[in-house]
């Protein structure tokens, strides 16, 4: 037959268990904001990257279409004039350089927006952690000894 535990022992066990859980709950108050902000940052960075890549692919498609037009023009009967063929190729190359410059400009803008967002989010997370620490400290101080 199992021994019955006296009520005072159960009360002490329950109190000790709750006290050990309080430290875990306090740490959750400090970890939660960081976890929340981490995943919000991930979502934001993915959105920015997706937009950049969509525009990058649009420019690559445009480059392919204009290259096809240039190739047709320089290899057709109309393109038998070497000067006109060179002009067509030069024009395609100029447009390609403009697309590459736009790639670089948009990439730098994307990185700048992402860095700004990450910095602001990190500050917010730190402030929330500080608030959580203050709440945890108050809860600890208000506990009767």
Q: What is the pLDDT of residues 116-126, one digit of tens each?
A: 999 999 888 88
Residue 117: inside a domain, yes or no? yes
Q: Which domain holds residue 53?
A: 42-141
The answer, yes or no, to whether residue 26 has pLDDT greater than 70, is: no
Model confidence, pTM: 0.67
Residue 26: inside a domain, yes or no? no
Half-sphere exposure at residue 138, Cβ-oriented, CA atoms within 13 angstroms: 7
C-alpha span between 128 and 37 (Å, rounded): 10
CB 73 within 8 A of CB 79: yes
Query: Worst-scoring range by mean pLDDT, 12-16, 39-43, 87-91?
Result: 12-16
Number of domains in the chain: 1
CB-based contacts of 73, cutoff 8 Å, min separation 6: 79, 85, 88
CB 124 within 8 A of CB 58: no
Residue 23: inside a domain, yes or no? no
Residue 72: inside a domain, yes or no? yes
The answer, yes or no, to whether residue 24 has pLDDT greater than 60, is: no
Residue 133: inside a domain, yes or no? yes
Predicted confidence band of residue 1 (pLDDT cuts 50, 70, 90): low
């Amino acid at each position: 037959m199992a021994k019955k535990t006296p009520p005072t022992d159960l009360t002490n066990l329950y109190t000790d268990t709750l006290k050990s859980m309080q430290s875990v709950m306090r740490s959750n108050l400090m970890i939660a904001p960081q976890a929340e902000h981490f995943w919000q940052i991930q979502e934001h960075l993915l959105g920015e990257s997706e937009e950049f890549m969509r525009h990058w692919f649009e420019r690559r498609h445009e480059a392919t279409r204009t290259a096809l037009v240039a190739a047709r023009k320089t290899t057709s009967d109309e393109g038998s004039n070497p000067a006109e063929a060179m002009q067509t190729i030069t024009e395609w190359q100029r447009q390609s350089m403009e697309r590459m410059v736009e790639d670089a400009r948009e990439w730098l803008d994307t990185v700048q927006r992402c860095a700004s967002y990450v910095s602001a989010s990190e500050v917010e997370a730190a402030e929330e952690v500080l608030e959580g620490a203050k709440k945890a400290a108050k809860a600890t101080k208000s506990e009767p000894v």
